[in-house]
Structure 1
Amino acid sequence: MKKYYSCNSIYFLFLVGLFINFCQGQINTSAPKEKYIAPKQSPKIIGTPPSLVPNPTPTNDPSLVSQYIRTIFQDSKGNYWFGPAGQSVARYDEKTLQYYSRTEFFHGNSKADPNFNSVHAIAEDKKGNIWFGTDCGAVKYDGKTFRSYTEEDGLRNITVGRKSILVDKNGTVWVGTSGGVFRFNPSADNTGGKSFLPFDLLSTIKVKDIMEDKTGNIWFASQDNGVFRYDGKTIENIMEKEGLGDNYAGGMAQDKTGNFWFTMKDGICRYDPSASTGTDTKAFTSITTKDGLGGSEVWGIYIEKSGIIWITSRGSTTRYDPSIDISNPKAFTVFTEKDGINCCVQSMYQDKAGNMWWGAGAGLYRFDGKRFYQVKQNGPW
């Protein structure tokens, strides 16, 4: 039996649909999707948070995880490690936020304590040990105690560069300092010998970053001599004369397509190895404020798993979508303090769940897809 609807019935259904659409709001498919941040219970605070740093002016908020956070890392157990300025490290495991004292951190090395400033790099080896790079040497945490390594253990220089501890695919621990590169020797460490051996091919450079690429090459960014690539046998040096934007290379990253990205003093530089033929500078592309970066004094670079590239500089943080042509202004989104992020970003990190974290000059930050928000000692985590 066929059903017939009157004009009044159709009009009534139209009004119902209009009312529902009005209450829910129209869907804007072009707007960035905000991530749902699941509320977590405030952690128990263990230890003493670092003092506020009066540089240039101290914040008046003692509830921050730390005023400055130099580095962020998540270990294989899911614990988060933070490197606050002026103190050793803090660990967050969803139940507790634990601050370790300098005495705990520099166990067995009291000489380093008075001169210590902050942790610059964090990595985990295949045995689950957590390694920290500081301005007073390297430190290893075995899950119970911290072990400090300095000149007595083979490090000729103890100022470890930012992001300059690497555990490669073979399990080798690399440490880059202001006076060369060193490799950890586990057998010597177990027998009381020199735990670190100098990497003679790079014995004097000032290292700012170390990374391993998709094919197993180890890359070193230097303060004065561009970047170096080690293939297991030989070293190749890439400098400004080869097409690199500057001989100062502060940070590095490799994207999904195999391109390399380097931070320069006035921007970033993309290196496409497939386009490289000797000294052909077509393999290099420099990107500066003229193209859309938010600032010229670039501090850091990080590439999300999605391919989005984040660039930090004095006064701003830039989100760059490399899938959009560089000539299109939509490729760059510049965030400043009005968007919730403090200007002095010290570190960036993406955790195993895909969440991005920032350590800035006013604490720890997350991003909900539209704006930045602070993560304080009590959350929201």
Structure 2
Amino acid sequence: MDELLLRTLTPAVIGVLVHRGVDFATAEDAVQEALIEAIRTWPERPPADPKAWLVAVSWRKFLDVCRSDAARRGREQRMVVEPPPGPTETADDTLHLFLLCAHPSLTSASAVALTLRAIGGLTTKQIASAYLVPEATMAQRISRAKKTVSGVRFEEIRDLATVRRVLYLVFNEGYTGDVDLAAEAIRLTRQLAEIHDDEETIGLLALMLLHHARRSARMREDGSLVALADQDRSRWDTSLIEEGVEMLQAALARDRLGEFQAQAAVAALHADAVCVEETDWVQIVGWYDELLRFTGSPVVALNRAVAVGEADGPAAGLAALAAVDPGLPRYSAAAAYLHEKAGDLDDAARLYAEAALTAPNLAERHHLARQAARVNRLLRG
């Protein structure tokens, strides 16, 4: 049984049912029932057309529910008709499902969970494990999300930008539990790019590939973080880098720059440098300027200040940092780095220790604490 094939087909089949007028929650339930039947029967009797088989069985499961529910006889009269002839699924149906799962009425957490369930084909247990919450909690979150979007009409959905942001949220969770969410996000973004060939979706996919290429070099065997400057670049995946750069160049050639393309350009410049000393920091500052124009994000301003410190010296970086809100996460870490580059070890040690106390995760906390200890050793000796 090809589990990946089933997961790939799931959103298309749900999309077909939703397009035919089935509410989202019922469509998802019907498709799950069809998947169970596929797992049971396909090993001995594989269908010639898996997509058509799943659509037909899912539709039958839906009709069974309608016929067995006396309270929904009126709906049965409207819905129990033979589907019109034609393709069993279209790219529009799958795109609709992407948009539905990222509907603005959903919270980010609910949109991510629903995307992984309906489009990614992951089980509730797998999603709960990935996000380190009880299965019952995740089941409730997904159930509420399905109810929220069940009344949304097909023609109401427009916001592809929200879909991209949801997919990037999934990607940034990385690897937890028994599900590689970074790889899952790349798979889903590839699927989105195939059905909607716009430059920002391609830019997002390029960004994911370029970040993912450095994955094996980011952590030591003991689980500690390795800063970009200290990573063993021979461990970077050059095939992913080449694919990401090629995609980015194709997107940029369309001359419709967007946020994810600019982020991918920064990642490509890091990937292009054979050693940290050859990094083109001047170009990186330029791309951060573009990102600020698109987003106005204080996080981008923080990253830009560090890049300015590399391109024009630590004094210039600290001047740029002075314009950033000091309450921003990782502000102290950026300030510590720039103070160390400026030779101000007392402030650097203090700021590294301060940053460790407010780090968003344990690995980063340990990394910053080690940096504080390292600088303190320099002061002593």
What band does the TM-score fall into relative to the shorter chain? under 0.3
Normalized per residue, the structure richer in helix is: 2
Q: Which has the higher contact order (CA 8 A, sep 6+)?
A: 1
Per the normalisation by structure 1, the TM-score is 0.26
The alignment's TM-score, normalised by the length of structure 2, stands at 0.26
| Larger proportion of strand | 1
